Amino acid sequence: MELTFLGTAADSAYPLPFCGCPTCQHARARGGKNIRRRSSVMVNRDLLIDLGPDSIQAMLTSGFDPSQVRFLLQTHPHHDHFDPNHLITRIPDYGGICLAPLTLVASPGTLQRMTTMMQATGFEGDLLQAETQHLLSLQVQPIQAGGSRTLGGYHITAFQANHDHGAESLIYAVQSRGRALLYATDTDTLLEPTLGQLSASGLRFAVVVLDHTYGPGCDGGGHLNADRFRDTVAWLRGADLLEEDARIYATHLSHEGNPEHEELERDAHQHGYLIPWDGLTLQV
């Protein structure tokens, strides 16, 4: 599999738009890898994780054709991960030509919230109804934590995230051709049911992309900080869920405790993980 980071920032992007703190000032001055869109990733050229507000423009910047996306995994419905206006453009009123079917996988709670967000724009459909799915050329596949789906050449397994439980937020394992990716944002410390399901899954991950919203000593709840990030990686390693040469990437980065890219990269290197940047492509 080929993995491309379309965005690597938390919900307000990075640097924070109107912030004058030294971290944000340095990031603006240095630019480049310090300028981060809100988090989403592309797997190969046909599987998108999170249809966020920055995802379509990021795909175009990285040379992807959004019309070739066949599978969408939605982790949860927060505004930085789901932009209802993107999905609504699939209705006939927008004049789209030959819209290929798109398979949408998300928890029932997330699908309900996505519907509410779309209805807030004036859209009258319901993602859980066949008529709406036909209108949007969607194949909606609700999934519960612990469930799995086969989508084309991918095997998808969902696990419960420790984040907005009312929306039934998920993290996903994506397997293809004997390799496995764990995409785990947004989440705080993994819950006991998730730890148990991961332990029993038989999976070993070549790449883990893990929430790192806050830096050391910072905490806002609902997300990992640097310390709990490292604890989570240690647990994954101790549970034999990582391949020997597994690569761990931090994502969903906020300005709160996470310095500019080069400094953050140096600190991560000392602890055995990596800091991606928007547009980074790697092989899983």
pLDDT at 180: 98
pLDDT at 220: 82
Q: What percent of the chain has pLDDT over 90?
A: 98
Residues 186 and 210 sit within 8 Å (Cβ to Cβ): no
**3-state class (DSSP) for residue 225:** strand
pLDDT at 33: 97
Q: What percent of the chain has pLDDT over 70?
A: 100
CA distance to 23, 50, 177, per residue, from 212 (Å) = 16, 17, 28
CA distance to 130, 187, 214, per residue, from 162 (Å) = 31, 5, 15
H-only helix segments in the chain: 22-30, 55-61, 84-88, 108-119, 130-135, 192-200, 226-238, 261-270
The mean pLDDT value for 3-14 works out to: 97
pLDDT at 217: 85
Domain boundaries, the chain: 2-278
pLDDT at 268: 97
2-278 is a CATH 3.60.15.10 domain: yes
Structure tokens, 252: 């969903």
Please report the beta strands in 99-241, taking only residues with DSSP state E, as ranges in sequence order.
102-106, 138-142, 148-151, 154-160, 170-176, 179-184, 205-211
Q: What is the pLDDT of residues 33-58, one digit of tens each?
A: 999 999 999 999 999 999 999 999 99
227 preceded by a cis bond (ω within 30 of 0):
no
pLDDT band of 210, cuts 50, 70, 90: very high
Sheet holding 242-251, edge to edge: 148-151, 154-160, 170-176, 179-184, 205-211, 242-251
Does the model's pTM come out above 0.95?
Answer: yes
pLDDT at 221: 81
The mean pLDDT value for 213-240 works out to: 94
- Strand (E) or helix (H) holding 44: none
Instruction: Look over the chain and give the mean of its residue pLDDT values, rounded to a whole number.
Output: 97
Say yes or no to pLDDT of 111 above 90. Answer: yes
pLDDT band of 83, cuts 50, 70, 90: very high
Residues 256 and 226 sit within 8 Å (Cβ to Cβ): no
Say yes or no to pLDDT of 148 above 90. Answer: yes
The mean pLDDT value for 229-249 works out to: 97
Say yes or no to pLDDT of 86 above 90. Answer: yes
- HSE-up of 10 (CA within 13 Å, CB side)? 22
15 preceded by a cis bond (ω within 30 of 0):
yes
The mean pLDDT value for 238-267 works out to: 96
The mean pLDDT value for 88-101 works out to: 93
Say yes or no to pLDDT of 98 above 90. Answer: no
pLDDT at 219: 86
Q: What is the pLDDT of residues 250-262, one digit of tens each?
A: 999 999 999 999 9
Q: What is the pLDDT of residues 172-190, one digit of tens each?
A: 999 999 999 999 999 999 9
